[in-house]
Chains A and B, each alone.
Chain A
């Protein structure tokens, strides 16, 4: 196991944040949020990884075989469910915003100020 996944996770998080800050399109912004979240997948899987280990399913493997951390896999699955919910809800809001406002440009949304 190299240390490479850890800086990669940090990089993905930061690049997602950069995209969120500079985004000119809300669909793109929600996509950037999903990118940010991908960094948590990378970090989780890197933490649970074991060299030469298999998936934590003992159905067709001997019980003594080396497996990756099953807790981390459960966390990643939960994380994916959470992320899918959030992304779907935010995209639905953007679609509705496009219908009502006629724009998906965050710079054009200026009714809530001060």
Chain B
């Protein structure tokens, strides 16, 4: 069977499902539209898994590049083309599979989650989720820069709508608006960059643009195009200083939506940056490798540190998890910045594990929100003792977030860390520190909320702005007991994160995907000339003694941090006052966020400038 023919279906099936749900949703009973939505999502997931198996080859053998499909048969002639291409590169297909599996989990989770949908709008939630799936899968699979922009905007628009899904409340509207304005601005900046590239090369595909750029030396136009395109993708990736929208959006979006936003959408921004660089700007006509690597390292390190510091400061559990996502995105950017196949494979594993763990943590937070109408760490102190299973998932999720072996996060962190260590000796310390602080914050919350450990925190004198977590419940009344679907999904997600670290096939797949991804020339050959380039050799990521030790070290650090925090009670005075200016930046004001975005673009330009000399 020609698997290339399946590629467009990965985008088309969820789109069709969304259309069906919009057309018939209001006539169907709730359960039928939920089952229908889940069935379409599961069918897409099956398609991506078939594709993934097709790109496999034997576990240790040479990697095969995935299928390439020119939609409608518009193939390029002599390297020039007007057609639209979908590329089933292993990393892209893997991300599409991750998207689809997470969407299935989210749809099952939300079966019992929402109150009755508004009258005449039944089926709108699964329909929107399916559209979101189509946008994200399309973004992961496309081989065309303009299509990437369209899918970028599709997932953006659906995400704004989903963030503001509870339109009866004021806070989600604020979060969705900030999210929408900042991300759209990023999208338009990307489009300006794409237009500049089209003006120079007359092409829109990744591969043809890259080839065409390499025929002459880079100049200011290439730099401008790189900065503009990357700005939009970094906004999506929530890199500092483009990250301000993320905590606001995550804090207010319905919990199942948070699982998708944090689990995979933000990571797609990182993927976009890496993909565009490897296929378009990595040649002699693009941005020189050291400058790109340096720029991304600076931004990634800043993102990781700021995310970790802010994560530790939060008492609103969803905001805490949101800032932890910012911190981990920083680590992903660092993993990509080191420009080695190992960095990419490690980051891919890290993203897989992180998606499972973070989605499981959000799922537990959703259970808390349902039972107690609050996600405030102080208010919930000790109240969730009656939910031992949810507490266990939350605590184990916190440990997994620190990179505890043998979770997928631990393996990914170990591999990315080692790859980063070859670039700069201090980078492994960054990985350990950041994962210890973010994991420690989650463990602290778990100890307080589910075990009632330590001193009861009180609302002390505040030294900075604070978002507390009193929220409207998202479920219809208080559910009699925690639905088996909600707990089941969180346990399954955590188990999946564990499997990522344990299954050698996943690690081998990530190794192959990373090696193929890093080989930009091979990608161009496969897309434009239709020939499978000699597959690069690779070593499958595996546990190393140093990686295990560093994972254990960061876990121990996190446990110690959580213990100290719980004993001493909420930080008062000194430390909080020092960090208050940092928190004040997160002002909730759209104008401030836009100003920071522009400042970030300028920073990126300054960092990438040496790349065109």
A73 within 8 A of B: no
**Interchain CA distance A36-B204 in the complex, whole Å:** 22
**Interchain CA distance A7-B465 in the complex, whole Å:** 41
Residue in contact with B174 in the complex, picked from A20, A47, A85, A109, CB distance below 8 Å: A109
> Contact: A79 with B191, CB < 8 Å?
yes
B20 within 8 A of A: no
B588 within 8 A of A: yes
| Closest A residue to B585 using CB positions | A114
Number of interface residues of B (CB under 8 A): 55
**Interchain CA distance A26-B181 in the complex, whole Å:** 10
Over the window 61-81 of chain A, the binary record of Cβ atoms lying under 8 Å from chain B Cβ atoms (1 yes, 0 no) is 000000000011001001100
CB distance from A80 to the nearest CB of B (A): 12
Which of B156-164, B208-216, B397-405 contacts the other chain? B156-164
Contacts A47-B198, A89-B160, A89-B180; A82 near B153 (Cβ below 8 A): yes
| Closest A residue to B184 using CB positions | A86
Over the window 171-200 of chain B, the binary record of Cβ atoms lying under 8 Å from chain A Cβ atoms (1 yes, 0 no) is 101111110110011011001100110110
CB distance from A6 to the nearest CB of B (A): 9
B539 within 8 A of A: no
> Contact: A17 with B177, CB < 8 Å?
no
> Contact: A13 with B192, CB < 8 Å?
yes
| Closest B residue to A24 using CB positions | B591
Residue in contact with B157 in the complex, picked from A36, A75, A89, CB distance below 8 Å: A89
> Contact: A37 with B464, CB < 8 Å?
no
> Contact: B180 with A86, CB < 8 Å?
yes
> Contact: B588 with A17, CB < 8 Å?
no
Residue in contact with B587 in the complex, picked from A29, A97, A113, CB distance below 8 Å: A113
Chain B neighbourhood of A96, CB < 8 A: 164, 167, 173
B467 within 8 A of A: yes
> Contact: A40 with B588, CB < 8 Å?
no
**Interchain CA distance A44-B349 in the complex, whole Å:** 39
A2 within 8 A of B: no
A4 within 8 A of B: no
Over the window 21-53 of chain A, the binary record of Cβ atoms lying under 8 Å from chain B Cβ atoms (1 yes, 0 no) is 111001001100100110110011001000000
> Contact: B192 with A113, CB < 8 Å?
no
CB distance from A79 to the nearest CB of B (A): 6
Chain A neighbourhood of B82, CB < 8 A: 71
> Contact: A113 with B177, CB < 8 Å?
no
**Interchain CA distance A37-B195 in the complex, whole Å:** 13
B271 within 8 A of A: no
> Contact: B173 with A100, CB < 8 Å?
yes
Residue in contact with B467 in the complex, picked from A20, A43, A101, A113, CB distance below 8 Å: A113
CB distance from A113 to the nearest CB of B (A): 4
> Contact: A33 with B591, CB < 8 Å?
no
Over the window 318-351 of chain B, the binary record of Cβ atoms lying under 8 Å from chain A Cβ atoms (1 yes, 0 no) is 0000000000000000000000000000000000
Chain B neighbourhood of A40, CB < 8 A: 188, 191-192, 195
**Interchain CA distance A44-B194 in the complex, whole Å:** 10
> Contact: A29 with B180, CB < 8 Å?
no
| Closest B residue to A36 using CB positions | B188
**Interchain CA distance A93-B464 in the complex, whole Å:** 29
> Contact: A33 with B181, CB < 8 Å?
yes
**Interchain CA distance A35-B314 in the complex, whole Å:** 36
> Contact: B188 with A112, CB < 8 Å?
no
A90 within 8 A of B: yes
> Contact: B181 with A90, CB < 8 Å?
yes
**Interchain CA distance A30-B241 in the complex, whole Å:** 22
A107 within 8 A of B: yes
> Contact: A107 with B170, CB < 8 Å?
no
Contacts A9-B192, A94-B177, A114-B584; A100 near B169 (Cβ below 8 A): yes
Q: Which of A37, A89, A110 has the most CB of B within 10 A?
A: A89
B237 within 8 A of A: no
> Contact: A111 with B177, CB < 8 Å?
no
Contacts A113-B587, A114-B465; A97 near B195 (Cβ below 8 A): no
Chain A neighbourhood of B248, CB < 8 A: 112
Chain B neighbourhood of A30, CB < 8 A: 181
> Contact: B157 with A100, CB < 8 Å?
no
B590 within 8 A of A: yes
**Interchain CA distance A82-B164 in the complex, whole Å:** 19
**Interchain CA distance A101-B195 in the complex, whole Å:** 39
**Interchain CA distance A90-B156 in the complex, whole Å:** 12
Residues of A participating in the B interface, judged by any CB pair closer than 8 Å: 9, 13, 17, 20-23, 26, 29-30, 33, 36-37, 39-40, 43-44, 47, 71-72, 75, 78-79, 82, 85-86, 89-90, 93-94, 96-97, 100-101, 106-107, 109-114
Q: Which 7 A-B pairs have the closest CB atoms?
A: A113-B465, A114-B465, A114-B583, A112-B588, A100-B170, A47-B199, A97-B173
A selection of 6 A-B contacts at a CB cut-off of 8 Å is: A33-B181, A85-B153, A89-B161, A97-B170, A111-B174, A113-B584
Residues of B participating in the A interface, judged by any CB pair closer than 8 Å: 82, 146, 150, 153, 156-157, 160-161, 164, 167-171, 173-178, 180-181, 184-185, 187-188, 191-192, 195-196, 198-199, 204, 247-248, 251-252, 313-314, 464-467, 583-584, 586-592, 594-595, 598
Further contacts, 6 of them, CB under 8 A, given A26-B590, A100-B173: A21-B591, A40-B195, A78-B150, A93-B177, A96-B164, A101-B173
